[in-house]
Amino acid sequence: MNKLYKFVFISSLSSFLSSLLILFLTVTITLSVHANERNDGKYSTIVDESGNTVYITAWKIDVGDQVLTETNRRYEVVSVDGDVANAKFIGEVNLSQYLDTDKGILSRAKTFLHPAIAGAQGKGKVAIYHTHSDESYVPTDGKESILGAGGVYKVGDSFSEALKAKGIDVLHSDAKHDPHDDMAYERSRRTALDMIKSFQPDAIFDVHRDAVPPQVYQANVNGQNVTKVQLVVGKYGPTGKQIEDYALQLKAAADQQHPGLVKGIFFAKGGDYNQDLHPRSMLLEVGSHTNDRTSAEKGIALFADVVPTVIGQTSGGGGAAAGTTGTGGTTGLGSAASGLSGAAKSIGWIIGIVIVGGAAFLLLSTGSLKEAGSKLKQFTTTEFANFFGPRVKKKDKLQSDDRESDDKH
C-alpha cells in the first residue's frame, strides 16, 4: 500500500510539474515574440470607435497596446481583427507639462535623475546602435534588407553628426545583430550594455525604420522634405513608466521646436526593447522602407535638435554632468550590469511559481505541513538516493551473495 501511495504521489507530482513546464515554455516563447515588428510584409491599422484610421504601424498590435497620435490624442487597443485594431479614445494629452521649464515635470525629472549634481557642468553623451542592422530604404538602397550593412547605419551617422554639431559626445556602434528575428534584441542587448558600461551616456537610442506605405512618414518640416520619427516605448518591466515619461518629454520638445516631426508614440504593453538598461533609452523609427534614405537622414537631423534640451544640455555643453544614469546609479532602478532582460525576469517569476505551486500541491495531497515535510524528506533522501546512488559492483554483489549462502548453510 505504501509503495502504491508513493507511486501515485510521484506520478501526480510529475504530471503537475510537467504542466508547469509547458506553461513556462509557452510564456517564454510568447514573451520573446510579442510586441515585435511584423515580418509578413503587412502592417497594422488602428481605427477609433467610428472606424476612422488614427494610427498605422508595422509593429504587432495586441489588446492593451496604446498610441499617442501626432496631434496628441491617446488611444488604447481593445480588440484586434487581422490587420485592423480597434481602439478606444482615452483623451487629449497636454504635453506642455513635459516641457523644460522651472516648474515642469522635465525639470523635476532631471533633479530626480541627478540629485547630487543637478547643477553641475559638463558635456552630454549619447550612444546610438541598431538592433536591426539590415534595415534599409528601397528607393535609395535598392532593397529593404542588407545584412550587416543596412541603410539605417547611414541614418545613424546623420544623427551622430547632428548631435556632435551641438557639442554632444556621441558613440555610434556599428555592431551587427543579424538575422532580423525575434532574438535580435537579445543580441543587441550585449551591445547596449557594453556601451552603457564603457561610455556612460546620458541617453541611448536604438535607431530603426518602419515598414508601412511612404505617405505615413512623409512630411515637410521647416520647408524640408523629411520623414517623420516614431517613438516606441516598451511598457513591460519596472522602468516602463519612466521610459513613457521620457518619450512624452521628447515629443513635447519636438512639437515645440519642429511641429509635425514626431509621428507619434507606440506604447507596447508587452514590449521590452532593452529599455530597462537605462532611464533614457528610446527606440526610434525613422521613416519607412518605402521612403528615401535622404529624407530619413534629414528627419533624424532635425530630431537631434530636441535631444540636448531633454537630456539637460545646451549647444555648447552646459547642463547636468554626464555618465550618472547609465547603470541605474542614483535612480534606484537597478544596475544595468545585471543584464537581465524582461524575458529573463519573467523566467525568474515562473520558476518561483513552479516552486510555490509544487509546495502547495504537496500540502494539499498530504493534508498537513508535518506530513508534507515528511514526504518531501522521504522523496529527497530515499528517492534521489536510489536514483543517483552508486551502483553495487558485480564483484561485490557476488561476494555478498556468497556470504548469504554460507549463512543459510
Residues 378-404: pLDDT tens digits? 554 554 445 445 444 444 544 555 555
Mean pLDDT of the 168-176 span? 97
pLDDT at 372: 55
Q: Give 321's pLDDT tier (boundaries 50, 70, 90).
A: very low
Q: How far apart are CA 156 and CA 148, in angstroms?
A: 14
Q: Give 74's pLDDT tier (boundaries 50, 70, 90).
A: very high
User: Is the pLDDT at 28 greater than 50, yes or no?
Assistant: no
Identify the CA nearest to 173 among candidates 125, 202, 206. Answer: 206
Lowest-confidence range among 20-24, 89-93, 284-288? 20-24
Strands (E), 213-319: 218-221, 224-227, 229-234, 262-268, 281-288
Q: Give 352's pLDDT tier (boundaries 50, 70, 90).
A: low
Distances (CA, A) of 203 to 41, 273, 280, 299: 32, 15, 5, 19
Residues 106-164: pLDDT tens digits? 444 444 444 333 333 346 999 999 999 999 999 999 999 999 899 999 999 999 999 99
Per the model's pLDDT, the better-predicted residue between 18 and 298 turns out to be 298
DSSP one-letter string for 303-331 = HTTTHHHHTTB-TTS-BSPSSSSTTSGGG
Q: How far apart are CA 11 and CA 67, in angstroms?
A: 48
Q: How far apart are CA 329 and CA 344, in angstroms?
A: 21
331 Cβ contact partners less than 8 Å away, ≥ 6 residues apart: 112, 113, 242, 279, 325
Q: How far apart are CA 211 and CA 90, in angstroms?
A: 26
pLDDT at 368: 56
Q: How far apart are CA 365 and CA 13, in angstroms?
A: 10
- What region, left, alpha or beta, does residue 98 occupy, with left being phi > 0 and alpha being psi -120 to 50 degrees? alpha
Cβ contact 230:57 at 8 Å: yes
Looking at the domain that runs over 86-334, which CATH code has it been given?
3.40.630.40
pLDDT at 318: 33
User: Is the pLDDT at 70 greater than 90, yes or no?
Assistant: yes
How many other CB atoms are there within 10 angstroms of residue 121's CB atom? 10
Q: Where are the domains of the chain?
A: 1-33+339-409, 86-334
Question: Chain-wide mean pLDDT for the chain?
Answer: 77
Per the model's pLDDT, the better-predicted residue between 252 and 385 turns out to be 252
